[in-house]
Amino acid sequence: MSGDSYKVRKKSPGLALFRCGICSVSIALVSGFLLAEDKQKEVSFDARTREWISITSLSGRSGIRSVCERLSGTYHLSIVIDRKLDPHRPVTLPVPATGSIIEVLGRIAENQDAELRELGEALLILSGASAEKLKTLVALRTKELRTQRNEEGKIFRYPPQTVQRIMNRHAWRWDELARPRELALKAAEKTGLTIENPELIPHDLWHNGELPNAHFTEFLSFVLVQYDLTFVWEKGKSIRITEAPRQVAIEQVYQIGKDRLREYRRILSEKFPQSQWKQRNSRVIVTGPVELHDQLKLMQSRKTIAKTNNRVPWKKRRFTMRVVRKPLKEVLQFLEASGLPIQYDIKQMKASGIAPDQLISFETKQADAEQLMRALCDPIKLPFSINDDQIQIGSQNR
């Protein structure tokens, strides 16, 4: 990975980096809540995906894979890219790109004509075809596991211990150049199952990755959907791979009043145009992907999806920075883009004898806002003041 493609120090969450290259400069920032290494595992997946970050620059070589690898290493999150996507396609987001990790990754996915999904404890950037089907296929296969029917139409079930192994959650990991066919076979063997026709999985080589806290149905569906495949449960503790349908959907019955039904249908039909709504007396039969049903149930409960970006208040954030001979004005713009409430007046600086283009250098480690300002301002005798609302640069009241 090119050293100036996306500058985030691995295994150092919440670091703000600001470096100067010899010929050209690529500036990038990921700034968030700084957590000690030994505390990372105690933070829930949901909380980590909602930490606030700001990316202030991406170079022309910032391919989606390199961007996601840096974010993954910095925030200890599994971020996996669909094999159907070009891993080297540059990310061309307008900067600064700010928000929770999940919000920023959603915009990165959109930039790549893809979609973001959560599965297990991983964030997946999937092509439209994969994203449209994956979680619905998982839901269908999971339901079918408990409602298998034989040729006579009678329900049969795998032994309880087999079902338990299927539903146990694991961290599914694969190395560089892993073969998906072998991954599927090993996963089935681990679960006590056999695959009748593994040859339907094409020969391929994968980039290394991980799908944490996922059960077998999720992992196998994740592998297969990238080749437009799914599977069916067979008797005798085996499974058979099949082509995935062009459209997959779940049918559920709801009790919805007429007024609410018009509202829900208007909102959700726009987002899920293939959905079907059939009213039968006081019941409504809704057919669509699992994401549609999740949103409909949420709307019925009258809960709202809060925009939880868990942005840490600027006074509580910590900054690790290294600035090497950068123009003062550029450094101030960088800090402003990172979310600090900096106020300054270039004309006033010039009038007081402070050159905005002068080159400055400093370094901080886990500094709070005041320590950061002292490191920046004191060497050039630039006054500043900090109150509850803002940082005033150039103020005479120190």
User: Would you place residue 50 in the very low, low, confident or very high pLDDT band (cuts 50, 70, 90)?
Assistant: confident
Helix (H) or strand (E) holding 190: helix 180-191
Question: Residue with structure tokens 């040729």?
Answer: 151
In a domain, residue 3? The reply is no
Q: What is the mean pLDDT of residues 66-91?
A: 92
Regarding whether 219 and 185 lie in a shared domain, the answer is: yes
- Share the mean pLDDT of the chain: 82
Calculate the alpha carbon distances from 277 to 257, 273, 283 in Å: 13, 11, 10
User: Would you place residue 135 in the very low, low, confident or very high pLDDT band (cuts 50, 70, 90)?
Assistant: very high
At 65, give phi and psi (nearest 5°): -65, -45
Regarding whether 218 and 187 lie in a shared domain, the answer is: yes
pLDDT value of position 25: 25
User: Would you place residue 147 in the very low, low, confident or very high pLDDT band (cuts 50, 70, 90)?
Assistant: confident
Percent of the chain with pLDDT over 70: 83
Domain interval for residue 256: 250-288
Regarding whether 278 and 337 lie in a shared domain, the answer is: no
In a domain, residue 141? The reply is yes
pLDDT value of position 302: 64
pLDDT value of position 331: 87
Regarding whether 388 and 332 lie in a shared domain, the answer is: yes
Distance CA 253, CA 232 (A): 25
pLDDT at 128 over 50: yes
pLDDT at 202 over 90: yes
pLDDT value of position 48: 83
pLDDT value of position 149: 67
Calculate the alpha carbon distances from 353 to 325, 348, 362, 394 in Å: 19, 9, 21, 11
Q: Which of 184, 219, 243 is the last residue of a domain?
A: 243
**Tens-digit pLDDT profile for residues 245-259:** 998 999 999 988 887
User: Would you place residue 319 in the very low, low, confident or very high pLDDT band (cuts 50, 70, 90)?
Assistant: confident
Regarding whether 379 and 332 lie in a shared domain, the answer is: yes
pLDDT value of position 8: 32
pLDDT value of position 49: 86
The pTM assigned to this predicted structure is 0.69
Domain count, the chain: 3
Regarding whether 341 and 264 lie in a shared domain, the answer is: no
In a domain, residue 304? The reply is no
User: Would you place residue 395 in the very low, low, confident or very high pLDDT band (cuts 50, 70, 90)?
Assistant: low
pLDDT at 67 over 50: yes
pLDDT at 11 over 50: no
Using alpha carbons, select from 207, 212, 213 the residue that is nearest to residue 226. Answer: 207
Regarding whether 337 and 387 lie in a shared domain, the answer is: yes
DSSP 8-state secondary structure symbol assigned to residue 150? -
Highest average pLDDT, of 9-13, 22-26, 220-224, 298-302, comes from 220-224
Q: What is the mean pLDDT of residues 293-308?
A: 68
Question: Residue with structure tokens 């120190």?
Answer: 398
In a domain, residue 319? The reply is yes
pLDDT value of position 150: 60
More confident residue, 327 or 216: 216
Regarding whether 132 and 236 lie in a shared domain, the answer is: yes
In a domain, residue 278? The reply is yes
Percent of the chain with pLDDT over 90: 46
Kindly report the number of other CB atoms within 10 A of residue 248's CB atom.
19
Using alpha carbons, select from 298, 258, 299, 291 the residue that is nearest to residue 274. Answer: 291
Q: Which of 243, 265, 296 is the last residue of a domain?
A: 243
Beta bridge partners of 279: 284
pLDDT value of position 289: 92
Regarding whether 137 and 214 lie in a shared domain, the answer is: yes
Distance CA 243, CA 110 (A): 27
The CATH number linked to 193 is: 3.55.50
Regarding whether 208 and 146 lie in a shared domain, the answer is: yes
